[in-house]
Amino acid sequence: MKIKTIFAIIAIIILPNILTMAQNSLAEATKGKFLFGVAVNMQQVNGVNAKESELIANEFNSIVAENCMKPQLIHPQENKYKWADADKVVAFGEKNKQVVTGHCLIWHSQIGKWFFVDDNGKDVTPEALKEHMRQHIYAIVGHYKGRVKGWDVVNEAFEDNGTYRNSKFYQILGKDFIKYAFQFAHEADPNAELYYNDYNVETPAKCEAIAGLVKELKAAGCRIDAVGSQAHMQMDSPTPDAIENCFKKLKAAGVKILITEWDISILPSPYSGANISNNFAYSREMDPYREAVPDSIQQKWNIRVLDMFGLFLKYNDVVDRVTVWGLNDASSWLNNFPILGRKDYPVLFDRNNQPKSVVDEMIKMAKNYKSQK
Ligand code: G3I
């Protein structure tokens, strides 16, 4: 057989498969409406499990590091930066032609004490904290300038009741720490998009406070492109109405919306939110699906996923990205939060890296929606 004929046969067999795979991915189905992303861990980026790396490359067109860009990991001590893992994440995204976003620059949690405390164990002055923020943001945003599309500049600055969280940033600098963070990030990379990110954004008082922050930042001349709604959800909360109301409020404030950390816990919850300082004791009763999820519960979860996804599609004029917080059930943080050692099933691929049945329905649903961009 001639070499040309062999190539032709290979092309006929392989090409349609490649095309079908791409056409049937969530990223393909949502194209033109919003980016479809996933949070990645280092095992996936390092290719420890090839199947997982392949899924991330094929199903998603955007990635974010689940942990390695957080202040404590990337900047553990003053003037000491650990770039290795985050560099790999960015290179992995570039290799797969994915949009890479950065999480997160200023967060009260997962941050070195040196930020706030001087050599004598006393709180640093407002000027010193502002300077730490400037150095931190300039170094990190500068390091990835032109390669990271946008940053979660400030993460979780509000309580659910809409008051400012009493963090060290707030105690030392007052609410202006948020404005400074956005200013420094813009100075470090004028082309980067800048986001405010939080959980339970749909809680009315919190949504109101965040919309107010957006207006204040804009009035102060700061760039803010989007509000990130983490969207760590339970089976019954938040309600679709609460989400819609908040989408409308944020849209009116003049920002885009990102669904930044989407997952839906199938387990009973002693609590709602993502405040990682909250933890509760384990009991078998609170971990009911160790062996399997009953069909009726699985159906309920599927409907919940489709309801939420339908809302994101309905608002695709303002929703620019939907990112799932974890590739598969095994790697989800929810197996250890808010109770350590449970077995949750909160994301789109199962423990064998198989897409759940709802994925096909999501793809069909997305294809039927028109882009409103
Ligand atoms: O990698 C170490 C491992 O070496 C060590 O043996 C083990 C023992 O505890 O810890 C491992 O690190 C853990 C890390 O996740 C990786 O699994 C940390 O303890 C643990 O605190 C860390 O949790 C992360 C959490 O943020 C705190 O940073 C979760 O993976 C991550 O999903 C979660 O993500 C946050 C978002 O950044 C912000 N919004 C809420 C969301 C959920 O809490």
Query: Mean pLDDT throughout 200-229?
Result: 98
Q: Is 244 a catalytic residue?
A: no
Whether 20 has a pLDDT exceeding 50, the answer reads: no
For 63, the 3-state DSSP assignment is strand
Is the CB–ligand 1 distance for residue 66 below 6 Å?
A: yes
- Looking at residue 200, its pLDDT comes to 98
- Split into its structural domains, the chain has a count of 1
Nearest CA to ligand 1 atom 17: 333
Burial class (CB in 10 A: 0-12, 13-18, 19+), 370: exposed
With a 6 Å cutoff on the Cβ, whether 34 touches ligand 1 is no
What pLDDT shows up at residue 278?
72
User: Confidence band (pLDDT; 50, 70, 90) for 17?
Assistant: very low
Among 5-14, 28-37, 87-96, 125-134, the least confident range: 5-14
CA of 67 to the centre of ligand 1 (A): 7
Average pLDDT over residues 168-186: 99
Any domain includes 373: no
Domain assignment of residue 342, given as a range:
3-368
Residues in the chain: 373
Q: Is residue 245 one of the residues assigned to a domain?
A: yes
Please indicate whether residue 110, judged by its CB atom, sits closer than 6 Å to ligand 1: yes
Residue 4's pLDDT is 61
Q: Which of the residues 28, 52, 156, 202 is marked catalytic?
A: 156
285 catalytic? Reply is no
- pTM score of the predicted model: 0.94
pLDDT attached to residue 3: 55
- Which pLDDT does position 207 carry in this prediction? 98
Kindly report the number of other CB atoms within 10 A of residue 183's CB atom. 21
Q: Tell me, what amino acid is at 119?
A: D
Say if ligand 1 is within 6 A of residue 85 CB.
no
Q: Is 42 in the pocket of ligand 1 (CB under 6 A)?
A: no
| pLDDT, tens digit (0-9, with 9 covering 90-100), for 339-371 | 999 999 999 999 999 999 999 999 999 999 999
Nearest partner of 100 among 191, 39, 34, judged by Cα: 39
Residue of the CA atom closest to atom 39 of ligand 1:
274
- Give residue 190's pLDDT: 98
CATH of the domain at 247: 3.20.20.80
Assigned domain for 160 exists: yes
